[in-house]
Amino acid sequence: MTHGIAGLTLVLALVLPLNAFAELDITEARIKNLPPPVPVRAGYMSIKNLSARSVSIVAIHSDAFASVEIHRSVMQDGMMRMEPVDRLTIDPGASLQLAPGGLHLMMMHPAEATRPGDDIEIILQMDDGAEQRLLMKVIK
């Protein structure tokens, strides 16, 4: 019995932190490729908050890019411009789209040439310090 409880505790200790990190269900994570002379790429994804609390993404890192920022394409004075976005906040149960023509990841200065089919790891950093890792697929 003692063994059983200890075992269960061990299992919970191993499983819980992983669950705690996977608060966001992320699908269709993709990077639109561009030819090598161009040092920027746009990243898109669909994010659903599975947790019971509001989650904010405050920073994004990837070893494959010198910097990754959250940007939004907006029309202003008849011109398209890109505006940095400080954080992405997703309410419990809510979804958020990073999609062409709107919110996107601005991924700058790839460490090496990206090719369609590549999987690139990025790390989302939340406002409470938690992190979530995911793979983004490079598409043509």
Partner 1 sequence: MPRILHHNADEISPMKRSSIVIVALIALIGGFGLSWYAHNSKPIELESGLWFGEQARALPEFELIDHNRQALTRDTMRGQWSLLFFGFTHCPDICPISLQTLADMLEAIDDVDVSDAIRIYFVSVDPQRDSPEVLAEYVKYFHPDFSGATAALDQLTPLTRSLGIAHTIRNRTDASPDYDVDHSAAIVLINPQAEYAGLFSAPHDPLAMARDMTRIVERHPL
Binding residues for partner 1, rule: CB under 8 A, are 32, 34-42, 71, 73, 75-82, 100-101, 104, 106-108
The nearest distance, CB 19 to partner 1, in angstroms, is: 33
How far apart are CB 31 and partner 1 at their closest, in Å?
A: 9
Residue number, 35 or 129, with CB nearest to partner 1: 35
* Residues 45, 130: Cα–Cα separation, whole Å: 19
CA-wise closest residue to 102 among 125, 70, 57, 78: 70
80 vs 114: CA distance, rounded Å: 26
Runs of H (alpha helix) within the chain:
2-21
- Name the minimum Å distance from CB 117 to partner 1: 16
Comparing CB distances to partner 1, the nearer of 8 and 108 is 108
Compute the least distance from the CB of residue 127 to partner 1, in Å: 25
Q: Which is nearer to partner 1, 34 or 50 (CB)?
A: 34
Query: Which of 128, 130, 140, 111 is CA-nearest to residue 30?
Result: 140
Residue among 8 and 99 whose Cβ is closer to partner 1: 99
CA–CA separation, 118 and 30 (whole Å): 10
